[in-house]
Amino acid sequence: MSADREALEVTTFRLRRGLKIDDFVAANADVDAWLLRQPGFISRRIAQGADGFVVDMLVWSSARAGEDAAARLMAELPTSPVHEVIDQRTVSWSVSPVFHRLDTPQPPFERRAPNPSDEERSQHRTLCGCAEAAPVLSVGMSDFGGGANVS
């Protein structure tokens, strides 16, 4: 069901004459704090095209979460400065379920075994009868295609 899908809330508009995108971002301090407390909120991006239109995109866990939050915003933040910087005549708003998503892979990571203490090295040598401590296994993202590196 689409109500259970992740959703995008997209609002486009122009700023009031003489205002810049930095004015809009600054006017959103209380809205950003409010968003972080809303059930289902995932992320927010604000952009401005060469034509001057601002795109304010929010990602929600579901369309219902986005719609519910939007319904509460004006009642809970009626005096927010954000309302004064938007040219209300130019606003277009929608919440739509996501049907396809492609994310970039996470940055490479490295996982290492903790460095053994001198006592642990001594115990290892005693148990295995070797002269060296156990090798450390280093795993990075590139290793998933070609095995792990042992040093």
pLDDT tens by residue, the chain, 151 residues: 455 799 999 999 999 999 999 999 999 999 999 999 999 999 999 999 999 999 999 999 999 999 999 999 989 999 999 999 999 999 999 999 999 999 888 776 655 555 666 666 666 566 656 555 444 444 444 444 444 444 4
The answer to whether 69 and 112 have CB atoms below 8 angstroms apart is no
Task: Supply 96's token pair.
Answer: 């739509």
Same domain, 46 and 66: yes
Same domain, 7 and 80: yes
* Segments forming the whole domain that contains residue 22: 2-97
What is the rounded CA–CA span in Å between residue 132 and residue 135?
A: 8
Same domain, 83 and 43: yes
**Predicted structure pTM score:** 0.68
Nearest-Å Rg of the Cα atoms of the chain is 26
In a domain, 104, yes or no: no
